[in-house]
Chain A
């Protein structure tokens, strides 16, 4: 099964990616020849039970982890095989990250956290785009606050703004709503989707929450290190149905 997106430019791509941890008895195959493309301006969710390899796939795509076989591209750049310096620059300039938790530096204000990748690169934010991002995440009156003075939802919105402000080729989000209550989660997901719709931002999100996945344009399902299914224009119900089906398809796994 090779999911592709037709007629669109590709923002990130995995070709026959294998990833193996450990050796001998402890050998775990996390990815078994996964191939997937993520179109520009698309919001893709990667789903699967724990241990299915969904986080590993994202880490490999983002250049945080190396692949054992196959290759990964971001835009036209082959990520697999790059040295630390090139990888650092790639992450800084062309990739954005949103993690589940611990997303911000406690010593910096919200505004400084948002500017962090630009400051590291020594670039100035585009003022117009800055305003757009700040207004999208609705943090204008919180910019001078420290992370410890912000709620969990606000902190995650700062993290989203930070990912957006550098206009990366692709944003990788790892369970961005995992630590949030459902209202804050819905807010975060809404403007992630808005940034895709309105500004053609590419987002790849790992989640195990069917509701979160329903915000995406497309859902890719992983099990045992292989892509086993995919859905276009999903709803929470169709995602849940697919997952139930996959439960009986593979080994029984708790979600």
Chain B
């Protein structure tokens, strides 16, 4: 029995390759995700092990306002300089070095643009001299207050050389320095992990990076001979007492690497999302292939039954095929995944500045295990139904010459209806009922179950829809024959179309939500934003672009300007919880810029809050609120006023005085409202001139600003469309598969048609119409289901600000056209095969 199974497996290589490919793709993404995470993780480990190779023990302060890793930048809580002297006196300490460094030193390149970073920090440090790791390549370290040295990565990216005057943005606005040195790292590295570094003299670094002199960001300690780092750590910790974090260099390296690795989980999730879609669609494809194989082998299987094979043996025979395909696909997918992983790792490195010394690509055991598990489970699960059906073939079928009879669709449709209802219910509960953390799973599960339900309903829907759709192509006889053929086996057509449906439904759904969000944002901006000119910049790293607040003060004096206000934004800690707050230098002007009516100026100890925020926290005018910003000590503020929701930006607005303790001490947005009768063109150039020393931002009119904001949604749509491309690729495989099998099944029919005079071109057109009808049907289902899902999600988000519902008609039409094209492409090979058919052989074909 086993040998017979394997023989028949080999006889259908092409079909197996086609159905296996979907699994290969899915497994590829799973394995790729693991390989990327593993390789980059090890690279980070190596990087930080290097960076802390000269540190035996590191001392930092316990942070005052812990900023969560995703949204904000950790601002080092400074240590008083006296701590250094204390440490130096501890026995066992050979050298203790005070460091004054923080993220946020942005170098302006020779082209006048700020060097951007997509991930690695832009550190400003105090020059501490060369060591085994850090090596000067040119010049010397900075000795005067207006001198800097940079690492070679910065020098290359900025295009600057010794002697140049270089602008640097720090906690303070642009300042110019003379470049006196360029350094690199051992092993001829330009940087460690792509980090951009600028070194000042110590007092300058403290002032510009930490906010004032006389404080340190951390202290690096090296142990005397014979003292282990652990011993030293315990000694230092004991000597300093509480309020300090004392770690060995090894611990610090691990902690830092762990933080970065957490960020990697994002990459991981995207790849696993791709894998999920590929495998979900792949299940349809495999299910279909096995159903067809079983149908074609009916007589063979019945003969086996007649010769005494048991039901279980028939099931085993089909399942063995599935296992073999699953295994092969897993092996190929794993191999491809290692390739993709290596490629993505390289890309990541290039993208992040190329400074990462990549660890050799490895294949973690987890990748191997998950690849085989996923590949096998998906294939075997998809083969269960066909296997059961095969086992029900009666031995008598071997003697009868019956094609598989068209089974009634009642059972499948009732099941489909029930499953769709269950999915919709889960989705509804997740979206509209407040189920807490279960929400996301309810939504995801609901979408998945809905897809399966609709797929089960598809055979029923296919009859009327295909009949209508097909008429579009029925003007000629080949078209009519193609249409009739596509309606011939509703189950097969349905499952092929369903594979296409999934991808198109996903992308349509996301597009509906995104377009609705865009439209809502536009409407909201039109309603709230009264300022005609906005100062803002593109954020393409963890730190937002900032500018000199003096620009706004000057802008307010330009004739024709009615109001100009700057807006800061940062995370603070209130009652121990992280909250985003805003700050402004001039509340009355901000209120005017937003058309919010009169607001009294904010004193340095006052804040204003929005009504929903006040209600939630139980604050009233006059309430006392203690706020801990990123630096400094907690301060108490009085609620000066409560403003109507959306009247002003954000929900808590602090005075500009508070921003000196912010992690980001400069404003990120500016609003300028003009007098009536003053045109944007009259004022904009003057504001642009004022921004000459703030190259991270630019001034635009309000429309351009809003469009820039909504373009984020377009980025998401583009990303989702990549996913669509993948799903479509797999669906094309499905259409090819179905058509190839149809051609094979109808060999005699094709022979007859050719014998009575159907030309080759006509034959090809017939097959193409069949493919196009199936694909467009799938796309139509996808667009409808996707629009439904998108509408549901949009409605559920109504309270979160997505008030408008926009159906992307042109995009949906594009997807339908795309599907037609997919059909044409998928038909090429089967059509050529059909046209080349040997007529005599076809007629004699059994």
CB B846 to nearest CB in A, in angstroms, measures 10
- B755 / chain A contacts, CB cutoff of 8 Å: 64, 91, 97, 99
CB B751 to nearest CB in A, in angstroms, measures 9
CB A127 to nearest CB in B, in angstroms, measures 19
Give the complex CA separation of A59 and B840 in angstroms.
8
CB B191 to nearest CB in A, in angstroms, measures 67
Give the complex CA separation of A103 and B751 in angstroms.
10
Q: Given contacts A64-B839, A64-B840, A120-B477, are A93 and B757 in contact (CB under 8 A)?
A: yes
What range describes how many residues of A lie at the interface? 20 to 34
| B488 and A89 contact, CB distance less than 8 A | no
Q: Given contacts A64-B755, A107-B488, A120-B477, are A102 and B760 in contact (CB under 8 A)?
A: no
CB B748 to nearest CB in A, in angstroms, measures 5
Instruction: Provide a sorted-by-A list of 24 A–B residue pairs whose CB atoms are within 8 angstroms.
Output: A59-B840, A64-B755, A64-B839, A85-B760, A88-B757, A88-B758, A89-B759, A92-B756, A92-B757, A92-B758, A97-B755, A97-B756, A99-B752, A102-B749, A105-B749, A105-B752, A107-B481, A107-B484, A108-B481, A116-B753, A116-B756, A117-B757, A120-B759, A120-B762
Instruction: Tell yes or no: A121 within 8 A of B by CB.
Output: yes
CB A254 to nearest CB in B, in angstroms, measures 21
Smallest CB gap from B478: residue in A: A120
| A120 and B752 contact, CB distance less than 8 A | no
Smallest CB gap from A121: residue in B: B757
- A92 / chain B contacts, CB cutoff of 8 Å: 756-759
- A89 / chain B contacts, CB cutoff of 8 Å: 757, 759
Instruction: Tell yes or no: B843 within 8 A of A by CB.
Output: yes
| Proximity string of chain B (316-339) to chain A, C-beta cutoff 8 Å, 1 when within and 0 when not | 000000000000000000000000
Smallest CB gap from A85: residue in B: B759
| B757 and A103 contact, CB distance less than 8 A | no
Instruction: Tell yes or no: A193 within 8 A of B by CB.
Output: no
- B592 / chain A contacts, CB cutoff of 8 Å: none
Q: Given contacts A64-B840, A88-B760, A119-B477, are A105 and B753 in contact (CB under 8 A)?
A: yes
CB B564 to nearest CB in A, in angstroms, measures 75
- A59 / chain B contacts, CB cutoff of 8 Å: 840
What range describes how many residues of B lie at the interface? 20 to 34
Instruction: Tell yes or no: B754 within 8 A of A by CB.
Output: yes
| Proximity string of chain A (94-136) to chain B, C-beta cutoff 8 Å, 1 when within and 0 when not | 0011010011111110000000110111100000000000000
| B749 and A84 contact, CB distance less than 8 A | no
Among B485, B753, B755, B757, max chain A CB count under 10 A is at B757
CB A90 to nearest CB in B, in angstroms, measures 8
| B757 and A91 contact, CB distance less than 8 A | yes
Q: Which of A107, A122, A162 contacts B485 (CB 8 A)?
A: A107
Instruction: Tell yes or no: A65 within 8 A of B by CB.
Output: yes
- A91 / chain B contacts, CB cutoff of 8 Å: 755-757
Give the complex CA separation of A84 and B764 in angstroms.
14
- B839 / chain A contacts, CB cutoff of 8 Å: 64
**Interface residue ranges, A against B (CB under 8 Å):** 59, 64-65, 84-85, 88-89, 91-93, 96-97, 99, 102-108, 116-117, 119-122, 162
Smallest CB gap from B477: residue in A: A119
Among B755, B840, B843, max chain A CB count under 10 A is at B755
Give the complex CA separation of A59 and B484 in angstroms.
30
Give the complex CA separation of A204 and B756 in angstroms.
16
CB A157 to nearest CB in B, in angstroms, measures 16
Give the complex CA separation of A93 and B757 in angstroms.
8
Give the complex CA separation of A105 and B760 in angstroms.
18
CB B446 to nearest CB in A, in angstroms, measures 39
Smallest CB gap from B487: residue in A: A107
Smallest CB gap from A117: residue in B: B756
- B758 / chain A contacts, CB cutoff of 8 Å: 88, 92, 120
| A162 and B757 contact, CB distance less than 8 A | no
Give the complex CA separation of A92 and B760 in angstroms.
13
Q: Is the interface of B mostly helix, strand, loop or mixed?
A: helix
- B477 / chain A contacts, CB cutoff of 8 Å: 116, 119-120, 122
| A88 and B754 contact, CB distance less than 8 A | yes
| A108 and B484 contact, CB distance less than 8 A | yes
Q: Which of B481, B759, B760, B843 contacts A99 (CB 8 A)?
A: B843
Give the complex CA separation of A202 and B532 in angstroms.
90
Q: Which of B481, B752, B754, B757 contacts A102 (CB 8 A)?
A: B752
| A105 and B481 contact, CB distance less than 8 A | yes
- A121 / chain B contacts, CB cutoff of 8 Å: 757
- B757 / chain A contacts, CB cutoff of 8 Å: 88-89, 91-93, 117, 120-121
- B488 / chain A contacts, CB cutoff of 8 Å: 107
List 16 additional contacts besides A65-B840, A121-B757; criterion CB under 8 Å. Answer: A64-B840, A85-B759, A88-B754, A88-B757, A91-B757, A104-B752, A105-B752, A105-B753, A106-B749, A107-B481, A108-B481, A120-B753, A120-B757, A120-B759, A122-B477, A162-B756
Smallest CB gap from A115: residue in B: B477
Q: When A and B form their complex, which 7 residue pairs have the shortest distance between CB atoms, in order from nearest?
A: A92-B757, A107-B484, A119-B477, A88-B759, A117-B756, A91-B757, A102-B748
- A106 / chain B contacts, CB cutoff of 8 Å: 749
CB A79 to nearest CB in B, in angstroms, measures 14
Give the complex CA separation of A103 and B484 in angstroms.
18
| A120 and B756 contact, CB distance less than 8 A | yes
CB B100 to nearest CB in A, in angstroms, measures 83
Smallest CB gap from A105: residue in B: B749
Smallest CB gap from A56: residue in B: B840
Give the complex CA separation of A121 and B748 in angstroms.
21
| Proximity string of chain B (740-755) to chain A, C-beta cutoff 8 Å, 1 when within and 0 when not | 0000000011001111
Give the complex CA separation of A192 and B760 in angstroms.
30
Give the complex CA separation of A102 and B401 in angstroms.
12
Smallest CB gap from B839: residue in A: A64
Give the complex CA separation of A15 and B762 in angstroms.
33
- B762 / chain A contacts, CB cutoff of 8 Å: 120
Smallest CB gap from A174: residue in B: B843
CB A124 to nearest CB in B, in angstroms, measures 13
Smallest CB gap from B761: residue in A: A85
- B759 / chain A contacts, CB cutoff of 8 Å: 85, 88-89, 92, 120
- A97 / chain B contacts, CB cutoff of 8 Å: 755-756
CB B256 to nearest CB in A, in angstroms, measures 68
CB A167 to nearest CB in B, in angstroms, measures 14
Give the complex CA separation of A65 and B839 in angstroms.
9
Give the complex CA separation of A116 and B757 in angstroms.
9
Among A93, A96, A97, A107, max chain B CB count under 10 A is at A107
- A119 / chain B contacts, CB cutoff of 8 Å: 477
CB A32 to nearest CB in B, in angstroms, measures 20
Smallest CB gap from A96: residue in B: B756
Give the complex CA separation of A113 and B577 in angstroms.
78
- B754 / chain A contacts, CB cutoff of 8 Å: 88
- B840 / chain A contacts, CB cutoff of 8 Å: 59, 64-65
Give the complex CA separation of A89 and B760 in angstroms.
11
CB B527 to nearest CB in A, in angstroms, measures 59
| B485 and A103 contact, CB distance less than 8 A | no
Smallest CB gap from B762: residue in A: A120
CB A141 to nearest CB in B, in angstroms, measures 23
CB B749 to nearest CB in A, in angstroms, measures 6
Give the complex CA separation of A162 and B755 in angstroms.
12
| B760 and A84 contact, CB distance less than 8 A | yes
Smallest CB gap from B753: residue in A: A105
CB B173 to nearest CB in A, in angstroms, measures 78
Give the complex CA separation of A138 and B840 in angstroms.
30
CB B774 to nearest CB in A, in angstroms, measures 15
Smallest CB gap from B754: residue in A: A88
- A105 / chain B contacts, CB cutoff of 8 Å: 481, 749, 752-753
Considering only residues 254-287 of chain B, those with a C-beta below 8 Å from chain A are: none
- A104 / chain B contacts, CB cutoff of 8 Å: 752
Smallest CB gap from B401: residue in A: A101
Among B488, B748, B756, max chain A CB count under 10 A is at B756
- B748 / chain A contacts, CB cutoff of 8 Å: 102
CB A154 to nearest CB in B, in angstroms, measures 17
- A84 / chain B contacts, CB cutoff of 8 Å: 760
Among B485, B749, B758, max chain A CB count under 10 A is at B758
- B749 / chain A contacts, CB cutoff of 8 Å: 102, 105-106
- A88 / chain B contacts, CB cutoff of 8 Å: 754, 757-760
